[in-house]
Amino acid sequence: MSDLIPSFEHDEVLPEELPRGSDIPDDLDPFADGILMQHQKDWLADTSTLKLAEKGRRTGITFAEALDDTLIAATKRTEGGDNVFYIGDTKDKGREFIGYVAHFAKVVSGELGEIEEFVFKEQREDGSANEISAYRVRFASGFRVEALSSRPENIRGLQGVVVIDEAAFHIDVRGVLDAVNALLIWGGKIRVISTHNGVKNPFNELIADAKSGEPPFSLHFIPFQTAVDNGLYERVCLVRGWEATDEGKQEWLDLIVGAYGTRDVARKQELECIPGEGDGSFLTRIQIESCMIDGIPIIRWAVPEEVATAPLKIRAAFTRDWCNTNLLSILQDFDPALWSYFGEDFGRHGDMTSIVGGQILTNLTRRSRFVLELRKAPYAMQKIILFYIIRGMPRFLAGAMDATGNGEYLAETANENFGEAIHQVKLNQAWYRANMEPYRSAFDDKSVQLPNDADILSDHQAIQVVGGVAKVPDGYSGKGADGYDRHGDTGIAGALAYYASRQDPKVIDFQSSGQTRASVPAFGEVPSAERTSTGFGTVAGRNNMDGF
């Protein structure tokens, strides 16, 4: 590629990486044995007027399309040649595509594919124009391949083959798709290529329509695994100069899949071609991490089967001792001069119960004082633990509890004991719509503080905008560091806690029964739950604070 001579209409420096077409080797012949994968060959062989690729990331379809477009533009009109217009979602994609075309022009058609940067007048809706740079390669046939911006106004009036790459990520997907339809009148062709970007995205809707036959697109389904089965790893090794081995292939696969971590929705969308339910992320990683601090304790307890199924009185005594061991010192660390609050997301079997307890600092920052995660805890045990926490919080302001489904009983019981300070929240569309935006604003303002923890981070990342409403998508599941399933639990508990912190104070009247119960020797030592950030401190006494 070093002998490519770029020509310009401006005295601007062409980006160094542009002619290289994603750094493919100079002598790479795409038609040599072992270069094109089967799904690429299938794409090239399909000459349909309307063609659509539903693909995983980096599966080589854009590479194949660039090869096809080079052949089309290099062909005489009498033999089926035509202009090609590439519409990518970013300018960088256009540069990469033109780099492919320039390479193929030399290797395949024997032409010195000159990459030109030219000025394109971008039309705005108000009729005004803006001059932007674009890229093209011209052929001896008189045809050209151009990479243009994705504004619908620029696309109307084009004639030839139009390629819409990563269609789901264009700013105006629907407008782009609508704009290219008219070119069919004069024999043009449309190629739509993309990974998924949400179930409600127009690209996914186009696929659904095409499957019913209207419009009559020829459909190609190319998940990442299909490309792997067709030799993607071996092609990567060829380009990178690696030695292809079975061990290396497995390490490569593990690295790619593992990079998604607990982001199952992103992995399924980008590798498996399964559109995510969410319209987009609610919080970015940077937003969340900027509000995380060290030193906030996290208590995680999976209740042993022998404890969960013990007789009620034995279980109650054991639970109180567990609270004294694991919660008392934390509650004693609360500032008695500050308002206290909590949010609770309920779980019983498959899900866990998450409680985020915090205080409002003098600068109005909502600082978490602890996060508690309970698994496999029966209602009675959860009641004891919850009441222990509420009674131990100084200047208790409010608690917001998940009263959806199975959580309703515990929320109702707490409300009966602590009155209007306990808010029974039905987690429905109306509540999410009214209360999730204030939670996001708290991250923007850095007026909320959470523990610095990977699982709590991933729980908040699980919150997506679904149908215009921020929530954890139905069916979402991720893996925590402890191997247990997570469903965005502490993300919702955090939102409920923030909601509680915004409530007006209520007058409540409660007191402990004052009785002290001993633990039961049958279970031996009361276990300390897993706790991070700080030590347990000293356990002082066995005060009955549960009202059991």
- The CATH class given to the 295-454+489-510 domain equals alpha beta
Query: pTM (2 decimals)?
Result: 0.54
Q: How many CB atoms lie within 10 A of CB 378?
A: 17
The third-level CATH classification (topology) of the domain covering 7-271 is Rossmann fold (3.40.50)
Q: In the predicted model, what is the mean pLDDT of residues 114-133?
A: 64
Note the pLDDT tens digit of each residue in 198-239: 877 889 889 988 888 888 999 999 999 999 999 999 988 988
State the average pLDDT for the chain: 83
Note the pLDDT tens digit of each residue in 80-121: 999 999 998 888 888 889 989 998 888 876 766 677 777 666
Look-up: residue for tokens 């004693």?
332
Res 429 pLDDT > 50: yes
Note the pLDDT tens digit of each residue in 3-61: 322 222 322 332 332 233 445 666 677 767 778 999 999 999 999 999 999 999 999 99
pLDDT band at 304 (very low <50, low <70, confident <90, very high): very high
Q: How far is CA 144 from CA 73, 234, 446, 541, in A?
A: 6, 32, 52, 84
Q: What are phi and psi of 513, to 5 degrees?
A: -70, -15
Predicted confidence at residue 530, as pLDDT, reads 54
Return left, alpha or beta for 541; rule: phi > 0 is left, psi -120 to 50 is alpha, else beta. left
Note the pLDDT tens digit of each residue in 456-485: 999 999 998 877 789 998 888 888 988 888
Q: Residue by residue, what is the 3-state secondary structure of 72-102?
A: HHCCCHHHCCCCEEEECCCHHHHHHHHHHHH
Predicted confidence at residue 157, as pLDDT, reads 73
Res 512 pLDDT > 90: no
Burial of 308 (0-12, 13-18, 19+ CB in 10 A): middle
Res 505 pLDDT > 80: yes
Predicted confidence at residue 113, as pLDDT, reads 62
Length of the chain: 548
The answer to whether the CB of 545 falls within 8 A of the CB of 383 is: no
The percent of residues in the chain predicted with pLDDT above 90, rounded, is 56
Domain ranges of the chain: 7-271, 295-454+489-510
pLDDT band at 123 (very low <50, low <70, confident <90, very high): low
User: Between residues 538 and 333, which one has the greater pLDDT?
Assistant: 333
User: Between residues 247 and 477, which one has the greater pLDDT?
Assistant: 247
Predicted confidence at residue 439, as pLDDT, reads 95
Q: In the predicted model, what is the mean pLDDT of residues 300-313?
A: 93
From the list 127, 124, 112, 102, the residue with the least C-alpha distance to 14 is: 102
Predicted confidence at residue 130, as pLDDT, reads 62
Predicted confidence at residue 522, as pLDDT, reads 40
The answer to whether the CB of 275 falls within 8 A of the CB of 473 is: no
Query: DSSP label at 521?
Result: G
Q: In the predicted model, what is the mean pLDDT of residues 159-183?
A: 85
pLDDT band at 159 (very low <50, low <70, confident <90, very high): confident
pLDDT band at 391 (very low <50, low <70, confident <90, very high): very high
What's the chain's Rg over C-alpha atoms?
Answer: 30
pLDDT band at 398 (very low <50, low <70, confident <90, very high): very high
Q: In the predicted model, what is the mean pLDDT of residues 330-347?
A: 97
- DSSP symbols for 275-318: --S-SEESS-HHHHHTTEETT--EEEEE--HHHHTS-HHHHHHH
Predicted confidence at residue 89, as pLDDT, reads 84
Distance CA 202, CA 170 (A): 10
From the list 291, 279, 233, the residue with the least C-alpha distance to 257 is: 233
Predicted confidence at residue 509, as pLDDT, reads 58
Q: Residue 187: which residues within 8 A CB-CB, separation 6 or more?
A: none
Res 322 pLDDT > 80: yes
Burial of 541 (0-12, 13-18, 19+ CB in 10 A): exposed
Q: Residue by residue, what is the 3-state secondary structure of 323-364?
A: HHHHCHHHHHCCCCCCCEEEEEECCCCCCCEEEEEEEECCCC
Residue 52's SS3 state is strand
Amino acid at 94: G
Q: Half-sphere exposure of 79 toward its Cβ, with a 13 Å CA cutoff?
A: 9
